[in-house]
Amino acid sequence: MWWIVVLLYVAFDLNYFIRTLCTIGSIALSRRNLKLTETITTYGICTTQDIDIFLNHMNNVRFLRELDFARYQWYGRCRFWTNFNAAGGSVMQGATMIRYRKMISLLQPFRVETRLVWWDEKSLYFEHKFITLLDGFIRAIAFSKQVAAKVNLNDFMGRFEECLNKPPQPDEIRHWLAANEVSSLQIRKDR
């Protein structure tokens, strides 16, 4: 029987699936529904499975994986996913921009603060801050774009009282979208 567990670890990233189940469980057990405009905090620690080839700090891809769990928490704790699914919508990761400021060392605990900063008719835009617990330093900041299908987000967001007044588009998002458009035009031109 032990060989089945070993085979699962070899064939799949089993820790990812276990953590996903734990995240879903923690959402189900949460007692308070949060507003879409509230900051949601998730916690982590840099383990030996997260470190880079130098064996001393979290590798770049693990930062991006943490964003998955942060968004899962946001979707679940705000009850956004349930409402969006009922409206026939679905979302998927469209783009990510991240700036690394300082490494997260092995065994260093951190939190990821996630908040919705803007939306348009097609996408949700999140800001994620990686902050180490012992010193409160922002180690990285990321923005992620979640692309919606089958539902106009401007209309859908109007169902939530806290979203009736849409925030202004942050400068970072405006510049990022412009850079993405330049990149898309260049790719089309190079075909």
pLDDT band at residue 14 using 50, 70 and 90 as cut-offs: confident
- pLDDT value, residue 37: 95
Residues in the chain: 191
Looking at residue 116, its amino acid is L
Please name every residue paired with 114 in a beta bridge, in sequence order, or none if there are none: 40, 128
Residue 162 structure tokens: 């806290």
Please give the CATH number for the structural domain made up of 32-190. 3.10.129.10
Strand partners, 43: 111
pLDDT in tens, 114-159: 999 999 999 999 999 999 999 999 999 999 999 999 999 999 999 9
Run of H or E including 92: strand 90-100
